[in-house]
């Protein structure tokens, strides 16, 4: 074997090392600024002050409600006070009717007298004063069940739905992601192995709900009461909507959701053929003064690349039985704190940093979809009556995305919307080219528990609006804490369920990622926009 001279060997190794050096090692990391971000975010945090201002002083933020408008204006004014530029409200819509609940009181008056835990369902009317009626148990799963109850419900309070299941709490509802959990989260799920989401089925379900509400109205039902979802119980009540927010589609029957334990008592008494009488008093108000809704937008101007933009955001709207603390007040105040940190440090980003706080997320990512359609790209409108006035960006069967010039100038969009838990990683949305970049950016935060990159797509929140238009959009992986078990869309989604140290950690990491994206020489790599799909065939009723 012929050996190479030492000097030549060294040269070859140097050249080889250039080619095998991982991409993350080539990323420029400004660790001095990272340290300053950490110090400001952990020592001078304002995240819980922001949380109290939003959750305690304003409260629930159902899209279209007076509180939602207050939250829009409050966040705009907070951004102005922080020194951000161009803080403003950007309108979208028309959305439809606003709604808010002012009063609910319910009690059983026979065979026992007892107060009941109930909440009004959104976009349903009140009782117009105190009403009293006998209860009847009803379980309707499709239109075929209408005939069973026709002519039997007039003047009755309908105890609606299948049996509630309340189980003892055998596991702590509070959870952090273990190393094994994170390892599994990092494993890619092949799309063909999961059942595809069929939007046509969702629309058919919406149509059935309309028909059911009309049936109950025609039968002159006094009120409808269903039970909270899940098995947790313990006074936690998960409440959403009972009617449409669209003008001209308002249901006329008051609807409420009751704590499962109280609902089950009534159901058992009815099964025993005993008369049960309830007294209800519900005051709800519809608002028709402004059909438009609003997103809150503000910026930190860039320098040499100021025409390029790095975006961060979260949805500001909530459901109404709690104060929207973990869904998604947590994400909103984390993003507000992230830009506050950067502004407090007098960061001069190369790219403009723009924050967006979205409304209408709970009704289908409406605020962020409208924003993206207005600025970055859209699909053609659809002629489906249920899609009238709705954004079509997420509907691939609507046709090809037409991009606008601004789309090419957005480097990335970062989103937080999975509760109060610590950030543990990032969902890459199948954008493999960003993995080595994010691996580099993540290294200064591994001591904070951020260790995982997942190629998976994750759904259900506003990064999807940006992803659909070909913009690199990312949702962070978070510890679940008690998001699904206690707080998500429930009356317990309040300030006290927030984890202060977790929110500080999240704000620091978001500020770091946004800074890195704003300072990088190149834009982040992009993946192709998803191609249109053929229109889904409608299923024939059996």
Positive/negative CA dihedral, 458, 459, 461, 467: positive
Q: Record the tokens describing residue 184, joined without a space.
A: 């599994």
Name the strand (E) or helix (H) holding 510.
helix 500-519
Nearest to residue 473, comparing CAs of 339, 312, 270, 242? Answer: 312
Q: Tell me the C-alpha distance between 332 and 338, whole Å.
A: 10
**DSSP annotation of 175:** B
Per-residue pLDDT tens over the stretch 369-409? 999 999 999 999 998 888 888 999 999 999 999 999 999 99
Q: Starting at the earlier edge strand, list the strands of the sheet with 452-454.
A: 85-92, 293-300, 351-358, 305-315, 410-415, 473-478, 423-427, 452-454
Name the strand (E) or helix (H) holding 299.
strand 293-300
Q: Tell me the C-alpha distance between 532 and 244, whole Å.
A: 29
* Domains of the chain in sequence order: 23-95+292-519 (3.40.630.10), 101-178+199-287 (3.50.30.30)
Q: Tell me the C-alpha distance between 439 and 453, whole Å.
A: 8
Q: Tell me the C-alpha distance between 229 and 140, whole Å.
A: 16
387 contacts 520 by C-beta, under 8 angstroms: no
Burial of 108-140, coded b for 16+ CB within 10 Å and e otherwise, reads beeeeeeebbbbbbbbbbbbeeebebebbebeb
Query: What residues contact residue 50 under an 8 Å CB cut-off, 6+ apart?
Result: 78, 333, 336, 337
Q: Record the tokens describing residue 391, joined without a space.
A: 């954004």
Q: Tell me the C-alpha distance between 347 and 369, whole Å.
A: 30
Q: Is 350 exposed, middle or buried (0-12, 13-18, 19+ CB in 10 A)?
A: middle
Q: For strand 351-358 and strand 452-454, is the pairing parallel, antiparallel, or unpaired?
A: unpaired
**DSSP annotation of 319:** -
pTM: 0.92
Q: Tell me the C-alpha distance between 167 and 144, whole Å.
A: 31
Please report which residue ranges of 66-136 form alpha helices under DSSP H.
66-82
Q: CB atoms < 10 A from the CB of 519, how many?
A: 20
Q: Tell me the C-alpha distance between 348 and 33, whole Å.
A: 11
Return the pLDDT at 11.
45
313 contacts 461 by C-beta, under 8 angstroms: no
Per-residue pLDDT tens over the stretch 10-54? 443 333 333 334 544 579 999 999 999 999 999 999 999 999 999
489 contacts 317 by C-beta, under 8 angstroms: no
Burial of 285-295, coded b for 16+ CB within 10 Å and e otherwise, reads ebeeeebebbb
108 contacts 270 by C-beta, under 8 angstroms: no
Kindly write down the DSSP assignment for every residue of 336-368, as one continuous string. HHHHHHHHHTT---SEEEEEEEES-GGGTSHHH
Q: Record the tokens describing residue 130, joined without a space.
A: 């105190």
**Cα angle 318-321-325, degrees, rounded to a multiple of 5:** 50
Q: Record the tokens describing residue 125, joined without a space.
A: 């009317």
**DSSP annotation of 460:** S
Return the pLDDT at 446.
98
Per-residue pLDDT tens over the stretch 250-263? 999 999 999 999 99
Residue pointed to by tokens 């960003």: 434
Q: Record the tokens describing residue 31, joined without a space.
A: 């660790």
Query: What residues contact residue 249 under an 8 Å CB cut-off, 6+ apart?
Result: 210, 243
Sites in the chain below the pLDDT cut of 50 = 1-21, 23-24, 542
Q: Tell me the C-alpha distance between 334 and 47, whole Å.
A: 7
SS (H, E, C) 47-85: HHHHHHHHHHHHCCCCCCCHHHHHHHHHHHHHHHHHCCE
């Amino acid at each position: 074997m012929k050996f190479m001279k030492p000097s030549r060997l060294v040269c070859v190794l140097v050249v080889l090392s250039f080619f095998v050096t991982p991409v993350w090692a080539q990323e420029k990391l400004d660790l001095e600024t990272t340290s300053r971000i950490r110090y400001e975010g952990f020592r001078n945090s304002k995240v819980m002050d922001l949380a109290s201002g939003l959750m305690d002083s304003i409260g629930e933020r159902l899209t279209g409600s007076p509180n939602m408008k207050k939250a829009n204006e409050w966040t705009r004014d907070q951004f102005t006070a922080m020194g951000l530029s161009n803080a403003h409200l950007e309108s979208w819509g028309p959305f439809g009717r606003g709604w808010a609940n002012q009063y609910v009181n319910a009690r059983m008056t026979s065979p026992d007298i007892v107060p009941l835990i109930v909440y009004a369902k959104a976009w349903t009317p009140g009782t117009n004063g105190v009403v009293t009626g006998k209860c009847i148990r009803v379980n309707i799963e499709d239109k075929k069940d209408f005939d069973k109850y026709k002519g039997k419900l007039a003047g009755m309070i309908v105890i609606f739905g299948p049996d509630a299941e309340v189980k003892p709490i055998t596991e702590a509802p509070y959870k952090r992601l273990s190393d094994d959990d994170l390892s599994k989260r990092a494993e890619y799920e092949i799309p063909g192995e999961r059942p595809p989401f069929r939007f046509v089925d969702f629309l058919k379900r919406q149509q059935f709900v309309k028909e059911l509400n009309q049936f109950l109205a025609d039968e002159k039902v006094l009120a409808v009461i269903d039970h909270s979802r899940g098995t947790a119980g313990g006074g936690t009540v998960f409440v959403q909507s009972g009617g449409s927010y669209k003008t001209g589609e308002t249901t006329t029957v008051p609807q409420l959701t009751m704590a499962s334990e109280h609902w089950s008592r009534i159901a058992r008494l009815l099964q025993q053929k005993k008369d049960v009488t309830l007294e209800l008093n519900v005051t709800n108000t519809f608002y028709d003064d402004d059909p438009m809704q609003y997103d809150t937008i503000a910026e930190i101007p860039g320098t040499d690349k100021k025409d390029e933009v790095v975006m961060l955001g979260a949805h500001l709207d909530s459901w109404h039985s709690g104060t929207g603390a973990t869904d998604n007040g947590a994400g909103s105040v984390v993003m507000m704190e992230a830009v506050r940190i950067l502004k407090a440090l007098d960061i001069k980003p190369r790219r403009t940093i723009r924050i967006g706080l979205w409304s209408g997320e709970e009704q289908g990512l409406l605020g962020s979809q409208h924003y993206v359609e207005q600025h970055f790209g859209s699909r053609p409108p659809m002629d489906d009556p249920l899609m009238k006035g709705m954004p079509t960006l997420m509907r691939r069967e609507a046709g090809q995305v037409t991009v606008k010039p601004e789309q090419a100038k957005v480097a990335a969009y970062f989103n937080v919307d999975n509760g109060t838990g610590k950030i543990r990683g990032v969902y890459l949305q199948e954008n493999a080219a960003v993995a080595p970049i994010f691996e580099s950016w993540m290294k200064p935060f591994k001591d904070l528990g951020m260790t995982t990159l997942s190629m998976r797509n994750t759904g259900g929140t506003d990064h999807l609006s940006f992803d659909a238009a070909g913009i690199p959009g990312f949702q962070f992986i978070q510890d679940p804490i008690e998001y699904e078990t206690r707080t998500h869309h429930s009356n317990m989604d309040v300030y006290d369920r927030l984890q202060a140290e977790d929110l500080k950690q999240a704000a620091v990491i978001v500020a770091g990622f946004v800074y890195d994206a704003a300072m990088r020489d190149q834009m982040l790599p992009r993946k192709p926009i998803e191609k249109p799909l053929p229109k889904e065939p409608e299923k024939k009723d059996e």
